[in-house]
Amino acid sequence: MPNWPTLRRRRLARELANLRESVDMTIEDAAARAGISPSHLSRVERALVGVRVPVVRALLTTYGASPSTAATLVEVAQTATQRGWWHRYAGSIPDEYATYIGFEADAARIWNFELISIPGLLQTERYTRAVLAGGVARLAEEEIERRVEVRLRRQALLHRENPPALWVVLDEAAIRRQVGSPETMAEQLNHLVTIAGLPHVDVQVLPFAAGAHPGTPGAFVVLGFTDPADREVVYIETMAGDLYPEGDADVQAAVQAFDRLRATALGPDDSVLMIRDTAKEFA
């Protein structure tokens, strides 16, 4: 089973590193007192590997953590080992995609810019099949079925109790490029109009007339979380693999780019009108 990182593991890693630094202790000293190797502790603090609860307790004792802090972090350590529904698809989906699904499931807000296609969270089943069939990888029918299933299961978060706030900005090309049959596109765009009517969803279209814009390099997602201490996660899908830029400047650049995109795009009402009219053209 892949060792996919989660938001909780990142949070635990950050807090353990902060506690060690607060007592001015080296990784070597802390690892020796906790009975683990320095290389393992280094990987734990970078959220590259999980950590067992007994080791967490040993580290907290080593750092002299307060009872309340210790109780909180032990609870985080326990939940960090719990597997989400997507783990059953190990081997069927890329590790980077599984990592993204885990972050997405924990997000309080999702900002998504798409340049040429409808975002996965808003895709219909027929549209998803057409996207997968026309992708870079030549997938067997069985593989396409599994990936369609994963995508549809992801969409359940939009209808759960306390769903994330989703804000999508689409380049006009995304609603005009025919994916699948005209009927598939009409169905997809009408579905987009329906989802845009949910109180926690905003959809905007960036018209061709806007010219060059900050999203010209490609699609990206910014995931925000409830705890202010959890920094935004930026996700960029590329042919060479999925990227998670972690530098402060990179994260801030993505946030600013999305702010400029939604300021340039049509308002939500005008965007829905354009999407509805485009659906009629396909129909």
The mean predicted confidence, pLDDT, of the chain is 90
* Helix (H) / strand (E) containing 149: helix 141-154
Amino acid at 37: S
Structural domain includes residue 241 = yes
Residue 276: pLDDT over 80: yes
Domain identity same for 135 and 250: yes
pLDDT at 1: 39
Residue of 61 and 72 predicted with greater confidence: 61
Structural domain includes residue 2 = no
- Give strand ranges (E) for the chain: 109-114, 165-171, 201-206, 220-224, 233-238, 241-243
pLDDT at 85: 79
Domain identity same for 151 and 275: yes
Domain boundary (51, 80, 109) is at 80
Q: What confidence tens digit (pLDDT) does each residue in 160-208 have? A: 999 999 999 999 999 999 999 999 999 999 999 999 999 999 999 999 9
**Nearest Cα to 189, choosing from 171, 174, 169?**
174
Domain identity same for 90 and 76: no
Partners of 220 in beta bridges? 113
Q: Domain span at residue 61?
A: 7-80
Residue 74: pLDDT over 90: no
pLDDT > 70: percent of the chain: 96
Buried b (16+ CB within 10 A) or exposed e, 181-201: eeebbbbbbbbbeebbeeeeb
Residue 5: pLDDT over 60: no
Written as six digits, the tokens of 195 are 């989802």
Q: What confidence tens digit (pLDDT) does each residue in 121-172 have? A: 999 999 999 998 887 777 888 888 988 999 999 999 999 999 999 999 999 9
In angstroms, rounded to a whole number, what is the distance separating the alpha carbons of residues 192 and 224? 23
